[in-house]
Structure 1
Amino acid sequence: MTPQPEKPPLEVYLLGAVDFAEMQALQRRLVFEHGEREGATLVLCEHPPTLSVGRSGSRAHIAPDDSELTGRGIRAHWVNRGGGCVLHVPGQLAGYLVAPIGGEASTAMGHVRRIQEMLLGVLAEFDLPGEVRHDPPGIYLGRARAATIGVAVSRGIAYHGFTLNVGPFLDLFDVLVEPGPDGSILRQTSMESRRQRPTPMSWVREAIVRRTELAFELDRHHVYTHHPRLKRKVLTHAYAPSPG
């Protein structure tokens, strides 16, 4: 019998609460490292309230002015990824998937489709029928968005990734005024809001790792709960949900 070829490895980092700027620095390091090795790295973490603005984002989609954002303790970062404005909050999983994909536009689109497939599979495991929409883009539960995807490519390495609202405090999303598909303000939702019961973050992380392996044809070799390049500790935010 011909032996099956080994699948590339998936390195997984489950990091808890991480400062957004530090995560961007770590991501740049991972992109550099993947220029010399195969496989992929998946980082799952949460961020304190932070706005990230992608290439199709606009200051017009952020309701508060700069001083009000500061008063709320929300920092804004302009980032080189696809997608628009994303509010990162405790209770939302931020996933950074770093993987070599080559330089063709078609491979970048294929990478995005695999992330979509992974997220839809995760939602389905929790009896949530998700749907991919493109205006504005994301994964929707009903008419409200539950997940975003935004990818960048540098020297054939894809990075950034996705967010998934597991159980965040949804009132925080009122800082965003992005137009929805019917012209009204885009609504946000979460897995817990739709399920009407607790959704342990640990269950969702496990499903994401497993579904990432499946969608990208990878084999998990190592799981870490710390990265030595992350130095700054993030204190628990007032809006953080109870540990699950």
Structure 2
Amino acid sequence: MRPTCLARNYLSKGCIPYAQGWALQSQRPNTILFFEHFPVYTLGRGANEQHLTFFDKLSVDERERLSRTSRGPGSARLDRQCREATPVFSPQGIPIYRVERGGEVTFHGPGQLVVYPIFDLQRAPFRKDLHWFVRQLEESILTALTNYEIEGRRDEINSGVWVGHDKIAAIGVSSSRWITYHGFAINVAPNLSYFDTSQILPCGLDGRGVTSIAKVWAERGVKKAPPSVQDVAVCIQKSMEMVFEIEIRDYE
């Protein structure tokens, strides 16, 4: 029998604040969380703050609170040691947090599916290998995208899934004692201006763009409306069952 994982889908609640979704990762393994967030920028644990294009416009105090060394009350860092954080805000009023995932700066917001697989990699059919885990997440996304006639691809150097030179899904994970946290985000139909280089250097990659299912369809002249975030969540859940060789049951 395949091991069972529990899906907790919060999409029916609409967008939720990032910090609330982050806190919900305290679920026990093996659980998969599905979210749509209000606009937020997040920096990985070792991310370069200069990839926030407006970083030099922030106050000295704000820059310090976002730094890689800032921790504890008053900092903008969310981690297991300090579950309270005070975000810094972009010039457009978007909260910014530093979190414990890998990767550089990214955006989450309406029209984007965020998935947090909380897996115990010590238990079969999983492996104690974060590189394997990331490759499996990529494969799950690639498989799901075929439902929308989109052929994604991997990048030899950077994690995530790409369509041409543009990233359609970002991956940033973390683990503690082989329990995984954070996960991936698929751009379904978000406002891509939040990824504009006048705001951030997405994932720290210069000269690369960001796309979405909606944008790919529009460029191809597809007349129908893009799928909903919930539709994509259903496809991802099915593809993760196949790729990870697990059974995913909806929480009731």
> What range is the shorter-chain TM-score in?
0.7 to 0.9
Q: Distance in 2 between matches of 1:109 and 1:200?
A: 30
Q: Distance in 1 between matches of 2:10 and 2:90?
A: 26
Whether 1:154 and 2:176 are equivalent positions in the alignment is yes
Say which of 17, 20, 34 aligns to 2:18: 20
Say which of 3, 7, 13 aligns to 1:8: 3
Q: Which amino acid aligns with 2:22?
A: Q
Q: Deviations over 1:129-158 (max 9, x none)?
A: 101114443211111111111111101211
2:33 maps to what in 1? 43
Alignment of 1:115-154 (within 5 A): 115-154=137-176
Cα distance change on mapping 1:187 and 1:56 into 2, 3 Å: farther
**Contact 1:92-1:167 at 8 Å conserved across structures:** yes
Q: Which amino acid aligns with 1:15?
A: Y
Q: Which amino acid aligns with 1:92?
A: Q
**Percent identity between the aligned chains?**
28
Q: Distance in 2 between matches of 1:215 and 1:202?
A: 20
1:201 maps to what in 2? 229
Q: Distance in 2 between matches of 1:136 and 1:96?
A: 19
Q: Distance in 2 between matches of 1:121 and 1:200?
A: 17
Q: Distance in 2 between matches of 1:84 and 1:137?
A: 11
Matched position secondary structure for 1:111: helix
Say which of 200, 206, 213 aligns to 1:176: 200
Q: Provide TM-score, normalisation by structure 2.
A: 0.76
The CA deviation at 1:204 is: 0.7
1:80 maps to what in 2? 100
* Root-mean-square deviation (Å): 2.2
Matched position secondary structure for 1:72: coil
Count of residues in correspondence between the two structures: 208
The CA deviation at 1:23 is: 1.4
Mean Cα displacement is larger for which, 193-202 or 102-111? Answer: 102-111
Q: Which amino acid aligns with 2:231?
A: W
Cα distance change on mapping 1:110 and 1:136 into 2, 3 Å: closer
**Contact 1:167-1:190 at 8 Å conserved across structures:** yes
Q: Which amino acid aligns with 1:206?
A: V
2:51 maps to what in 1? 61
Q: Indicate the structure with greater strand content.
A: 1
Q: Distance in 2 between matches of 1:193 and 1:73?
A: 25
Structure 2: tracts of 5 or more residues without a match: 60-87, 219-224
Q: Distance in 1 between matches of 2:5 and 2:93?
A: 35
Q: Which amino acid aligns with 1:107?
A: D
Higher relative contact order (CA 8 A, sep 6+): 1
Q: Distance in 2 between matches of 1:135 and 1:114?
A: 16
Q: Provide TM-score, normalisation by structure 1.
A: 0.78
